[in-house]
A = this chain, B = another copy of it.
């Protein structure tokens, strides 16, 4: 990998994302990222105060691929679109997805997508205070669903056991219905519950 000059935050973030895509999140160390750029590890500290800040930049970069919703669609379609776009973009880069789940990035792209969510919730008819609360709930759910999806993809027999126990509870005739945690179907079901809750909340406020 040839040395890329000049070193900028964007160049560093892109290199880190490459390392993460190729070798996983545990490989995204200051030393490995520096090796990818063929520079001294300490050179990274001239562009980021610490590793956390560097990963924040990588997380926001991964969200660059998440398109905003069609502005002409109704609020619920837009909300589903934003949630799906963030989920897709994050899972396309499994190396950084866990970091996105752990701390929602608020760089350029995070703010763009967040604003779209808030606007959709306002249009749904929630009060300004409830727009905030509902958005935090949606971000929380999205983060957890992402974290589960990442782990489900990992080789982690312990988690597979967790998934199986969660998916096959001693609750009756569930039997064949095994749904992997973190699956797209599981994600859609939770979002459906939340949207039904938002509709009920909005109806309660207008009615």
> Least Cβ distance of A118 to chain B in Å?
4
Name the B residues within 8 Å of A137 (CB-CB): 141, 186, 189-190, 193
Residue of B nearest to A181 (CB): B136
Give how many copies assemble into the complex. 2
In the bound complex, do residue B162 and residue A104 qualify as a contact, i.e. CB atoms below 8 Å apart?
Answer: yes
Interface size on A, residues (CB 8 A): 64
Which of chain A's residues 150-200 have a Cβ closer than 8 Å to chain B? Answer: 151, 158-159, 161-162, 165-175, 177, 179, 181, 185-186, 189-190, 192-198, 200
A140-B145, A201-B196 known; A165 vs B133 contact (CB < 8 Å): no
List the B residue with the shortest CB-CB distance to A49: B158
Instruction: Assess the A129–B174 pair: CB atoms within 8 A.
Output: yes
